Amino acid sequence: MGKQKKVDSKEAGLEIGLHFFKFFLKTEYLHYGYFKNLETDISNLAKAQEQYANYLLSSIPEDVKTILDVGCGSGKMAETLLEKGYKVDAVAPGNLLSNYVKEKIGDRIELFNCRFQDLVTSKKYDMVMFSESFQYIHIKDAMEGAINFTREGGYIMIADFFKTDAPGKSMLGGGHKYSEWLEVKPNFKLETIKEEDITEETAPTIDLVSQLSTEVLQPIWRVVFALAEDRFPLILKFVKWKYKKKLAKLDDKHFSGQRNGKNFKIYKKYMFYLFKKQ
Ligand SMILES: C[S@@+](CC[C@H](N)C(=O)[O-])C[C@H]1O[C@@H](n2cnc3c(N)ncnc32)[C@H](O)[C@@H]1O
């Protein structure tokens, strides 16, 4: 087994994304955008993320007063829920994002600084919510935990993307296998209140990420490389030799233009679920 890293790279990526998007696009949400009636343009990303939040909010049943926000990211969704009058607790693993959440809303929520799989509390909530955090947790752990922390007659909300069985190699990572999910879902004996495929509305997010990678990050990356090659030729030669495979993979993944909305619709399925505990 590999050595446990002190700073998780996914968590670091989310924190970098948060500062970048907060500064340039004035958004703190770390989920996809919901592009219904919105043009695919970077200037619309914040609005689309707000529409995503509103889509989730509009699906919360009336008898819900307390919510556990699993994988709360920057805490923006939890803050929005607080503003709507809900009593909210949140789960955040790692230290990077949870420090941010503590500063932002730490006095208004109970923040469980651990992985959802490790959460210990006797509290039961009217609703347990996974806003794009379901894919990070093994399905069985996520579902059994959610059922355990939901009161009788309460709800579980899941909004996240899954991997399809489409043939070929996808440059897009993440998501549980949709076919596996369909196989195990009936085991959890929940009533499905709402189920919707929102792949079409969320896919434009990936077109924007692709645009950002090829039109902003790639040129910056090239300039940095050219500068380094000029100033530190020997070091760069070593780096290129040592990390040949990693650099090629990075190029393929981020700058080949293959991570786009069209491929997202082939290899991913973005689903929304609202379940009721019997
Ligand atoms: C894509 S972000 C979504 C953030 C937020 N829910 C939102 O809608 O903006 C994924 C979140 O899942 C969290 N996460 C990853 N692994 C987790 C785990 N095992 N338990 C709980 N949260 C986890 C990450 O820290 C991150 O905050």
Here the CATH number for the domain that contains residue 60 is 3.40.50.150
Domain that holds residue 136: 9-204+260-277
Distances (CA, A) of 191 to 142, 177, 274: 17, 22, 9
Count of the separate structural domains present in the chain: 1
In angstroms and rounded to an integer, the radius of gyration of the C-alpha atoms of the chain is 20
Q: What is the pLDDT of residue 2?
A: 47
Nearest CA to ligand 1 atom 15: 136
C-alpha 71/C-alpha 20 separation (Å) is: 20
Nearest CA among 54, 89, 269 for reference residue 181: 269
* Res 4: pLDDT: 55
Domain presence at residue 123: yes
- Largest CA-CA distance found in the chain, in angstroms, rounded: 66
Cα(2) to centroid of ligand 1, in Å? 22
pLDDT for position 118: 96
pLDDT computed for residue 264 by the predictor: 94
Residue 193 clears pLDDT 50, i.e. is over it: yes
Percent of the chain whose predicted confidence (pLDDT) is above 70:
97
6 pLDDT tier (thresholds 50, 70, 90)? low
Residue 184 contacts residue 138 (beta carbons within 8 Å): no
Gap from CA of 94 to ligand 1 centroid (Å): 10
- Is residue 68, in this structure, part of any structural domain at all? yes
pLDDT of 29 above 70: yes
Tell me if 176 is assigned to some domain. yes
Q: For residue 17, how many C-alpha atoms fall within 13 Å in the half-sphere facing its CB?
A: 17
3-class DSSP state for residue 8?
coil
> Is 222 domain-assigned?
no
Structure tokens at 229: 């090659």
2 lies in some domain: no
Q: Quick one: which atom of ligand 1 is closest to the CA of 53?
A: 8
Taking residue 124's Cβ as centre, other Cβ atoms within 10 Å add up to 15
Pairwise pLDDT comparison (144 vs 248), residue with the higher score:
144
**Backbone φ, ψ for residue 99 (5° rounding):** -65, -40
Say whether pLDDT at 60 is over 70: yes
Question: Quick check: is 188 in a domain?
Answer: yes
Q: How confident is the model at residue 186 (pLDDT cuts 50, 70, 90)?
A: very high
What pTM was estimated for this model as a whole? 0.88
* Residue 25 reports pLDDT greater than 80: no
Ligand 1 site, residue 75, Cβ cutoff 6 A? no
Rounded CA-CA distance 140/120 in Å is: 17
Asked if pLDDT for residue 158 goes beyond 90, the answer is yes
Q: Are 275 and 191 in contact (CB under 8 A)?
A: yes
Higher-pLDDT residue of 177 and 18 is: 177
Q: Output the six-digit token pair for 193.
A: 């209140």
Query: What's at 278, amino acid-wise?
Result: Q
Q: What average pLDDT is seen over the chain?
A: 90
Report yes or no on 138 lying in a domain.
Answer: yes
CA distance 259 to 251: 12
Residue 1 has pLDDT above 70, yes or no: no
The partner residues of 111 in beta bridges, in order of sequence, read: 90
Which residue lies with its CA nearest to atom 23 of ligand 1?
A: 71
Q: How far is the CA of 92 from the centre of ligand 1 (A)?
A: 7
250: in domain = no
State residue 138's pLDDT score. Answer: 97
